[in-house]
Structure 1
C-alpha cells in the first residue's frame, strides 16, 4: 500500500498511524508519478483537485483554467489528500467510508 500526501498534513498523519506496512510518498518532496495522477484522475475526476487549499487560492485565474492533470503535475500540493493506492485501486481522502474499506 502506498499513501501520497504531505508529511505535515494532519489527515495524512492520522491515516499513516492506522497502517503498519504503508509506503509514504511526500508529494511536495517527491512529486507524484504521472501514471498515478492519470489513474487517480480517471477514478476521481476534478475531485482530485483541492480547490480549498492555500495553493489553489494563490493561483491566478489563468493558472486555474489549465487542465487538472497539468495543474497537479506543476503543483502536487493541489491534490486532495491523502491519496491511497492499494493493489491498483485508489482511495481519496480519509473519510469513514475509506477507513472502513481499508481497515
Structure 2
C-alpha cells in the first residue's frame, strides 16, 4: 500500500494516524521529495478522472489562469503536484483520494 501526498498536509496527518493506529503498513511518498512520474500520475487520472483528482480548493489551483483550470494536463500537474487532492492511497488495483475514517474503515 502506498500513500502519496505532502507530509505537512493536515489530511495526510489524519490518514497516517488512522493507518498507524490500526497497524496498517504503508509506504508514504511525499510529492515534494519524490516527484511523481508521468505513468503514475496517468494511472491516477485513468482510475479517478481529473475531477476527482484535482483539489479545486487549493491555493495552487486558485492561482491558475482560467485557461489552465479548464485544461488540466499531466505536465501542469507534474509541475504543480499540490494540485492533487490528498492523500492518494494505492491499495493493489484500487486508488482512492481524500480521507475519512468511514472511507478507510474497509482497510481494517
* Contact 1:92–1:98, Cα closer than 8 Å, also in 2: no
| 1:63 alignment partner, one of 59, 68, 72 | 68
In the alignment of these two chains, the number of paired residues is 103
Counterpart-to-counterpart distance in 1, 2:92 and 2:2? 9
Deviates more, 1:3-12 or 1:56-65: 56-65
| Structure 1 residue 97 displacement after superposition | 4.2
Deviation track 1:46-92 (CA, whole Å, cap 9, x = no partner) reads: 21011110101111223323333232112111000000011132111
Are residue 32 (structure 1) and residue 33 (structure 2) matched?
A: no
Of structures 1 and 2, the one with the larger relative CO (CA 8 A, separation 6+) is 2
Unaligned runs of 5+ in 1: none
Instruction: Name which of structure 1's ranges 90-99 and 72-81 shifts more when overlaid on structure 2.
Output: 90-99
Query: Cα RMSD between the aligned structures?
Result: 1.7
Query: Normalising by structure 1, what TM-score?
Result: 0.86
| Contact 2:18–2:101 under 8 Å retained in 1 | no
Q: TM-score, normalised by structure 2?
A: 0.83
Contact 1:43–1:90 at 8 Å: present in 2 too? yes
